[in-house]
Amino acid sequence: MAESQGVPERVPYPKPIYAWLVVGVLIVAALIAYIDRQVVAIVVDQMKADLGAGDAQIAWLYGVFAVFYAVAGLPIAWMSDRKSRKHIIAIGIFFWSLMTMACGLTRSFWLVFLARIGVGVGEATLTPATNSLIGDYFPRDKIPLALSIVQAGPIMGSGIAFIIGGYVYGMVEQADPLTLPFFGELAPWQQTFLYVGAPGLLLAFLFLLIREPVRRTVARPADSVAGTGSDISIANFYRRNAKMMAFHHIGFLCFGLLGYAFVFWTVSFFVRVHGMNNAEASQIFGWIFLVTGPLGPIFAALYAARLTRQGKKDANIIAPLIGGLIGVASILAIQVMPNPFWAFVFYAPALIFVNSPFAMAYASLTYVTPPPLRARVAAVYMFMVSFGMMLGPPIAGMFNEQIFPSDQGVRYSVASVTVIFGLLGFLFLMLARKPYIRTAKDAEDWSAEEDAHDREDAKVRA
């Protein structure tokens, strides 16, 4: 019997009720992460004034987060495939929350820039460790749904970020100035960073209470998968599935890039184009995001499951591809709406479908990746797709400054980025379908014995 870290691989999976409880905790962690990540988009114009920065420069506060989020994810993933994942996540939550608060304690662009690097490094712990945990908490056929539901957390976090951020900003804007020893008087945007960062410090300690699951390995020698015997190599896995991985990563990167550009410039769009108040626009957008955004990953996962039952082995590519295209059409419709009411109406389908690719990107990988590689494969993908997070807001910001410099220009910038990268995303995911089918067939081979064991475990628990 094969073993992983001295633990027999045939140990039953944790009880479903506890596994789904852990999913709930991971959702909260992802929610907090996205609140801390997105808050900079809420106070763009106010930060610009205080920091003396332009559109492209201020957008790089999001971009530099993405760079270090991507780079730090690689060594963290290596640790996640070997060390305690709950401890890695707890440390990460504490650190990124502290760095979010640090963003509010300075009016120097470069000190905020450095603090955003820290936020990126801290948040890099969450995705690789989460993918590894979910792979050990659930049988393989349940992984896509579980990961898609976990990914609803970041989407809800984005919505809540705009709701809470807008509320907090509006509240502190009306309140008496806050003055702290050594740091002096804090502007409303600075106080917003402080207040949204604080809850994560508590969550970090609560995260230590969950149980670390038994690590699993493939049920039989993986010579045909990625290496020889138990020595499963991520390089060999990528080499064997080079076309699928390249097309998958680039396709989802493109959809991610346009999505991040769209969300980052939303509040500025309503302020500049429709003359709305910053706090009001942020809160309305946040509520629409919170209610409709999480539906996208769930829709994609359920539709993918339906296609899988119909025998389509590329279901995990088809579902997010269709969702992404509907999202692109909805974003374009928003840009031509004559007033904020109709623009907000079209935000509902836009946020449902622009979010549908994100969860399935990870789920589609975890579904076909051997258990010992899941955290590292997730980190490699995270590294690639983070270029979308890094480049989307600054590219649109550059368009604002260089090509469409008027206040109305933000709508044309977002439309341009959406068309260009939406078409590229469609093309690359279409190219990924056939090689994904081959990878899925390989996964069926190495997981056949493991699935049989899972069915036996289910009978015993029943």
In a domain, 229, yes or no: no
In a domain, 442, yes or no: yes
What is the rounded CA–CA span in Å between residue 148 and residue 301?
6
pLDDT band at 217 (very low <50, low <70, confident <90, very high): low
Higher pLDDT, 152 or 9: 152
pLDDT band at 141 (very low <50, low <70, confident <90, very high): confident
pLDDT given at position 258? 94
pLDDT band at 423 (very low <50, low <70, confident <90, very high): very high
**What angle (nearest 5°) sits at the alpha carbon of residue 262, between those of residues 321 and 126?**
75
Tens digits of per-residue pLDDT, 15-43? 889 989 988 889 888 888 888 887 887 77
For position 305, which CATH number holds? 1.20.1250.20
For residues 158-165, give the mean pLDDT: 79
Say whether pLDDT at 427 is over 50: yes
pLDDT given at position 9? 45
What is the rounded CA–CA span in Å between residue 281 and residue 277?
6
What is the rounded CA–CA span in Å between residue 351 and residue 372?
34
In a domain, 287, yes or no: yes
Tens digits of per-residue pLDDT, 74-132? 888 888 888 889 899 999 999 999 999 999 898 889 999 999 999 999 999 998 888 88
Residues whose CB is less than 8 angstroms from the CB of residue 303 and which lie 6 or more positions away in sequence, other chains included: 315, 319, 322, 323
Compute the mean pLDDT over every residue in the chain, rounded to the nearest whole number. Answer: 84
In a domain, 1, yes or no: no
Q: 328: buried, middle or exposed (CB in 10 Å: 19+, 13-18, 0-12)? A: buried
The encoded tokens of residue 168 equal: 């907090």
- The DSSP annotation for 142-168 comes to GHHHHHHHHTHHHHHHHHHHHHHHHHH
Residue corresponding to tokens 């709406």 = 337
Residues spanned by the domain of 302: 13-212+234-461
Say whether pLDDT at 138 is over 80: yes
In a domain, 28, yes or no: yes
Tens digits of per-residue pLDDT, 352-388? 999 888 778 888 888 888 878 887 888 888 888 888 8
Instruction: Identify the CA nearest to 75 among candidates 380, 453, 396.
Output: 380
pLDDT given at position 251? 95
In a domain, 228, yes or no: no
pTM of the model: 0.71
Tens digits of per-residue pLDDT, 245-294? 999 999 999 999 999 999 889 988 999 999 998 888 888 998 998 888 88
In a domain, 20, yes or no: yes
Looking at the chain, the whole-number percentage of residues with pLDDT higher than 70 is 90
For residues 35-60, give the mean pLDDT: 82
pLDDT given at position 34? 81
Residues whose CB is less than 8 angstroms from the CB of residue 419 and which lie 6 or more positions away in sequence, other chains included: 328, 332
The one-letter code for the residue type at 46 is Q
pLDDT given at position 414? 95
Say whether pLDDT at 173 is over 80: no
pLDDT given at position 446? 62
pLDDT band at 458 (very low <50, low <70, confident <90, very high): low
Give the dihedral of Cα atoms 63, 69, 32, 385; nearest 10 deg.
70
Q: Looking at beta carbons, which pairs linking 233-238 to residues 24 or more positions away fall under 8 Å?
A: 234/373, 234/376, 234/377, 234/380, 237/369, 237/370, 237/373, 237/377, 238/380
In a domain, 225, yes or no: no
| Count of domains forming the chain | 1
